[in-house]
Structure 1
Amino acid sequence: MDTSFTRLIYDKIEFIEFRQNILFLKQPQHKASIFFELHLDDFLRIRDFTKNFSKRVVLGNEKLTIYDYEKELFNIWTPIKSYPSSSTLVAKALMSEDVFNQLFQSNN
């Protein structure tokens, strides 16, 4: 089987799982309709950015906060700015629990 085709299948599965996690993690009073505008290529950029950002958090060479994550995330996909707590929601959906908690500990 072609590896690029296999990678595409995995990317699409991760995209579907991401959207599902957003629906599960969002606040009940918030509508997540902005995420219906998200395309696969936008998701892949967000996912790759989040993986790299997570590595930076784990390395600990920089003091990173959720605000740093949010600023870079908004540059990647601007429409997400209109969703309340979008950066926290995306981080929770894509980061490991340890990295997510570490990111929020740096806020205190």
Structure 2
Amino acid sequence: MKQQNIITNVLEKAGNKNLINELITRLSQSEINTLLLALSKEIANKNTPNDILNKYESNRFVKPSELSPIKVKQVEILMLEMAEASGFSSVLLSPASPLGSCSVIAKYP
């Protein structure tokens, strides 16, 4: 099912086909973030420990990696050293960025 079809179904279930447009035109980004945090908190509060274990088993995106964390860091360091030896400067970025940083920039060649 295409993402747009899924979104349409969700909005129909919510009883408001214009919900997304209403939220983005009436609320600031900060207010939307607050709303999303509140929704996430409510969803988390409904979960049981068993639910969490089931998600680890069924969701491939949250399964722990089988890779050695030390080996991964060693490869990262090697790659950074190679890049710097080639004239690149490494920068440690913040773990957070403005919403849309990747998708917005990707739209413009």
Q: TM-score range by the shorter chain?
A: under 0.3
Using CA pairs below 8 Å that are at least 6 residues apart, which structure has the higher relative contact order? 1
Q: Decide which structure has greater helix share.
A: 1
The two structures have a TM-score, normalised by structure 1, of: 0.27
